[in-house]
């Protein structure tokens, strides 16, 4: 194995690499032993603590699956509402009229600069004060409100980038055959941009799924993370076990979404039917996903 | 909480109006809360820059075990919500395993734990940004360095990373802005930063829109200049090719 950064290894380099591997292995083993020891000392590795997840289905049907359902509902609702909003604002930012373009830009930049949690906390107070939404539903409403406001502005940027990435000839050809601006947008640019944006949209879904956990931690929204909390008190302080299981579920969902986005991108790039313009999933979401306030 | 109108302001309608409008701020330490946010951001930024660079070095290095570790770390940590990580540092590390990071009172322990959580999470993104930056350095640079006999560590630290860093100022700025916003998650374990104060104020005071606007403005003040200044720096230092 060689790369641009190092030569094919000769006998000395190979010996040195074996040494590094052994040293690193020792460090990992020491860290692993320390983790094992401290978990064992506190009795966190006892079968009693892990039993609920492996023996019997009660933990799954009572806590994990309902929590997972709420996580997915909130994520899906946010995506469904944020997509059209994002499209509207993305297109508005490309408008020829300054009185449409500038306000849209201000709104998008404003909501991108604010943490999702702030928007969610605002949402809770808003629904409490001005609506009659019951206190059971309020957390879901607040979580979705926060996620929609933030992600619509991120999606607006994705839509804008998707449209701008299309070759200029598309617009010119559309104008040449006499289409008006609206027609050019709806029947020429948008359909192509949607394909180009798909991978970026899928990876934005990862950000949304991760952000729903905020609702569980701060707003008493009973999603997956909140169910870990409830479980650990119900099953006798098996905090480590509950968090491990919940984190694994999150990793599983998000890793498959990321893999799907990557596959989609490669497939779209290969396709010969389109212009071949594809926004890479990481371009926006990769760095924003730390915005994943997650 | 209402302060008696000061005699100094009497007769000055502007001061009077100002006092009525911003009355709700009385008794809350708004600058203090934002100062905690800034501290969280800066400490985590330094920590995750160091750990993220190390991870990136592992991921491009010649030792397969380190490459595997780096890849696994990034792929696992990136896909766990930050909220889960932060909550785990408090409930798991502190309350279950008794780790307190050398602090003794509740506030300091949670502050340090959330910095730890933020570093663990953000470094995965720093690592990916730097790795992408390494890819923008022309192959010829590394090849020339190898041709004059530099070792992998020398190639990386003397030739490739200095150039890579100059081209990743932009992406790293995005990570920093995201980190600034992510510090609000520390509210989940009771660190007295901006989001927690906002929650408390909204529960006790009536001015919903005004309070929200103040906090939103605070974050815009933190993130917007960061983006503008570092964006300008990024353009300045970028290697022109």
Q: Which residues of A touch B120 (CB under 8 A)?
A: none
Kindly indicate the confidence band of residue A149, based on its pLDDT and cuts at 50, 70 and 90. Answer: very high
The answer to whether B215 faces chain A, any CB pair under 8 Å, is yes
Average pLDDT in the A165-192 region? 92
What integer pLDDT is reported at residue A278 of this predicted model?
A: 78
Kindly indicate the confidence band of residue A63, based on its pLDDT and cuts at 50, 70 and 90. Answer: confident
What integer pLDDT is reported at residue B98 of this predicted model?
A: 84
Close Cβ partners of B28 (under 8 Å, ≥ 6 residues apart): B197, B200, B201
Q: Max alpha carbon distance in chain A (Å)?
A: 77
Kindly indicate the confidence band of residue B55, based on its pLDDT and cuts at 50, 70 and 90. Answer: very high
More confident residue, B174 or B24: B174
Does the distance separating the beta carbons of A110 and B220 come in below 8 Å?
Answer: yes
First-to-final CA distance of chain B: 61
- The pTM for the full model equals 0.88
Does the distance separating the beta carbons of A42 and B185 come in below 8 Å?
Answer: no
Query: 31-50 in B: which are within 8 Å (CB) of A?
Result: none
More confident residue, A206 or A43: A206
Average pLDDT in the B225-231 region? 89
More confident residue, B189 or A281: B189
In chain B, which ranges are E strands?
none
Lowest mean pLDDT among A229-233, B36-40, B215-219: A229-233
Average pLDDT in the B59-69 region? 91
Instruction: Supply A180's token pair.
Output: 């008006």
Domains of chain B by residue range: 30-188+209-237
Q: CA of A251: which chain B residue's CA is closest?
A: B79
Percent of chain A at pLDDT > 70 equals 93
What integer pLDDT is reported at residue A195 of this predicted model?
A: 85
Average pLDDT in the A164-193 region? 92
Given this structure, which CATH class describes domain B30-188+209-237? mainly alpha
Q: Which residues of B touch A44 (CB under 8 A)?
A: 96-97
Query: 147-206 in B: which are within 8 Å (CB) of A?
Result: 151-152, 155-156, 160, 171, 174-175, 177-179, 181-182, 184-185, 187-188, 194-195, 198-199, 202-203
Does the distance separating the beta carbons of A9 and B82 come in below 8 Å?
Answer: no
Q: CA of A249: which chain B residue's CA is closest?
A: B80
What integer pLDDT is reported at residue B20 of this predicted model?
A: 62
Structural contact between residues B101 and B109, judged by C-beta atoms closer than 8 angstroms:
yes
Kindly indicate the confidence band of residue B21, based on its pLDDT and cuts at 50, 70 and 90. Answer: low
More confident residue, A75 or A293: A75
- A42 CA to chain B: closest CA distance, Å? 7
> Does B5 have pLDDT greater than 50?
no
Of the candidates B35, B31, B28, B26, the one whose C-alpha atom is nearest the C-alpha of residue B1 is B26
The answer to whether B26 faces chain A, any CB pair under 8 Å, is no
């Amino acid at each position: 194995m060689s790369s641009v950064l190092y030569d094919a290894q000769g006998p000395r380099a190979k010996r040195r690499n074996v040494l590094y591997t052994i040293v690193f292995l020792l460090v990992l083993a020491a860290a692993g032993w320390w983790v094992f020891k401290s978990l064992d000392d506190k009795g966190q590795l006892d079968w009693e603590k892990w039993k609920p997840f492996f023996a019997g289905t009660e933990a799954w049907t009572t806590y994990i699956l309902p929590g997972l359902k709420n996580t997915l509902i909130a994520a899906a609702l946010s995506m469904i509402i944020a997509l059209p909003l994002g499209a509207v604002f993305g297109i508005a930012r490309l408008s020829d009229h300054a009185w449409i373009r500038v306000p849209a830009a201000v709104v998008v930049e404003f909501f991108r600069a604010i943490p999702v949690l702030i928007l969610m906390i605002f949402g809770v107070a808003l629904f409490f004060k001005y609506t009659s939404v019951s206190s059971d539903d309020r957390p879901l409403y607040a979580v979705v409100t926060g996620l929609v406001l933030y992600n619509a502005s991120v999606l607006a940027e994705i839509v804008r980038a998707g449209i701008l990435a299309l070759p200029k000839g598309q617009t010119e050809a559309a104008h040449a055959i006499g289409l008006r601006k609206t027609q050019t947008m709806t029947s020429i640019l948008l359909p192509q941009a949607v394909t180009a944006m798909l991978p970026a949209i899928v990876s934005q879904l990862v950000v949304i799924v991760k952000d729903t956990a905020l609702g569980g931690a701060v707003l008493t929204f009973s999603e997956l993370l909140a169910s870990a909390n409830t479980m650990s008190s119900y099953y006798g302080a098996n905090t480590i076990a509950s968090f491990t299981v919940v984190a694994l579920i999150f990793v599983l969902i998000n890793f498959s979404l990321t893999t799907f986005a990557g596959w989609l991108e490669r497939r779209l790039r290969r396709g010969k039917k389109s212009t071949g313009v594809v926004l890479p999933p990481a371009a926006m979401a990769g760095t924003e996903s730390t915005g994943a306030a997650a | 909480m209402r302060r008696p109108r000061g005699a100094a302001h009497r007769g000055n309608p502007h001061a009077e109006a100002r006092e009525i409008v911003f009355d709700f701020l009385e008794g809350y330490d708004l600058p203090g809360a934002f100062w905690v946010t800034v501290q969280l951001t800066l400490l985590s930024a330094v920590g995750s820059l160091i750990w993220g660079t190390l991870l990136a070095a592992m991921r491009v290095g010649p030792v397969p075990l380190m490459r595997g570790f780096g890849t696994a770390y990034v792929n696992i940590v990136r896909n766990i919500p930050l909220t889960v990580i932060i909550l785990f540092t408090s409930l798991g590390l502190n309350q279950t395993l008794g780790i307190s990071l050398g602090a003794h009172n509740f506030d300091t322990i949670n502050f340090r734990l959330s910095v730890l959580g933020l570093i663990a999470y953000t470094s995965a993104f720093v690592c990916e940004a730097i790795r992408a930056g390494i890819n923008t350095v022309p192959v010829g640079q590394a090849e020339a360095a190898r041709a004059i006999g530099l070792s992998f560590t020398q190639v990386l630290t003397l030739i490739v990373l200095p150039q890579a860093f100059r081209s990743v100022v932009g992406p790293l700025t995005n990570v920093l802005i995201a980190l600034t916003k992510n510090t609000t998650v520390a509210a989940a374990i009771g660190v007295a930063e901006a989001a927690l104060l906002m929650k408390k104020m909204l529960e006790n005071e009536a001015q919903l829109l005004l309070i929200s606007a103040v906090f939103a403005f605070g974050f815009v003040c933190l993130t917007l200049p960061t983006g503008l200044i570092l964006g300008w720096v990024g353009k300045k230092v970028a290697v022109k090719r």
